[in-house]
Amino acid sequence: MNWLAVRAIYAHEMNRFFRTIWQSVASPVLSTVLYFVVFGAAIGGRIQTVDDVPYGAFIVPGLMMLTVLQQSVSNASFGIYFPKFSGTIYEYLVSPAGWIEVTAGFVGAAASKAILIAVIILLTSFWFNGVHIAHPVWMLVFLVLTAVSFSLLGFIIGLWAKNFEQLQIVPMMVIMPLTFLGGAFYSASMLPPFWESVAKLNPVLYLVSGFRWSFFDMADVPVMSSLVAVTIMLLICLAVIRWIFATGWRLRE
């Protein structure tokens, strides 16, 4: 493992993040505050509690997970796409760094950015709701696993994309709808039986459910199922990335 290469790629990506700190942090935090105002105040006035949890506090884990998924995919995909776009990806391909080091550097930076923004959103939520974290260690475990898994997915999207339009297709047409339908703002138990069964086919529901359990000790699906789901996704993404670097698919286009 070439840790010097990992550190160099990671530091480069984080420096790029901090050069645009206002845009990188303020925009998602402001969007989340608007969600708190709209959903917490408007809908919270009609739905007082969900399983004895105030609705304003209930949506905090969902909003954090929504941000983590979007930021992880976006940061990782743009991070690796720009070297492809500019042609500097060949410097990574001919360097002493292997696919593990390149992936660890880009994905580690993308996950770090998403986790940092999620923590800021959590701190912001205390201004609106009294949020209690029942299992703080498991909260960190779910947060890190989700950020890393979707950063790996974003890395794959960045390698796959041939242009900026393709770079936006999956986050806008797949990730965002799945997140909104994954229980970010409601519990699956609130749905009719048929639609509850359909909702449980959504993989994002398992991530949101496990993360919400770490806050309020309540979940739509078994916690172990959530852990298994995110672990399987992580392993599949790693296998796909290894195949891409082994075959050179889309790397030299």
Q: Judge contact between 113 and 17, C-beta under 8 A.
A: yes
- Pairwise pLDDT comparison (181 vs 136), residue with the higher score: 136
Residue 85 forms part of a structural domain? yes
Residue 32 forms part of a structural domain? yes
Q: What mean pLDDT do residues 210-235 have? A: 94
Residue 31 forms part of a structural domain? yes
Q: Judge contact between 155 and 76, C-beta under 8 A.
A: yes
What local confidence, expressed as pLDDT, does residue 239 receive? 97
Number of domains in the chain: 1
What local confidence, expressed as pLDDT, does residue 45 receive? 61
Across 65-74, 110-119, 121-130, 173-182, least confident range: 121-130
Residue 238: pLDDT band (50, 70, 90) is very high
Residue 132 forms part of a structural domain? yes
What local confidence, expressed as pLDDT, does residue 41 receive? 65
C-alpha to C-alpha distance for 182 and 10, rounded to whole angstroms: 31
Q: Domain of 125?
A: 3-247
* CA-based nearest residue to 155, from 90, 98, 234: 234
Residue 93 forms part of a structural domain? yes
Chain-centre distance for alpha carbon 190: 25
Residue 252 forms part of a structural domain? no
Residue 253 forms part of a structural domain? no
C-alpha to C-alpha distance for 133 and 144, rounded to whole angstroms: 16
Amino acid at 38: V
What local confidence, expressed as pLDDT, does residue 192 receive? 86
User: What is this structure's pTM?
Assistant: 0.91
Residue 119 forms part of a structural domain? yes
What local confidence, expressed as pLDDT, does residue 209 receive? 95
Q: What mean pLDDT do residues 126-149 have? A: 90
Q: What mean pLDDT do residues 18-40 have? A: 76
| 121 has a pLDDT exceeding 80 | yes
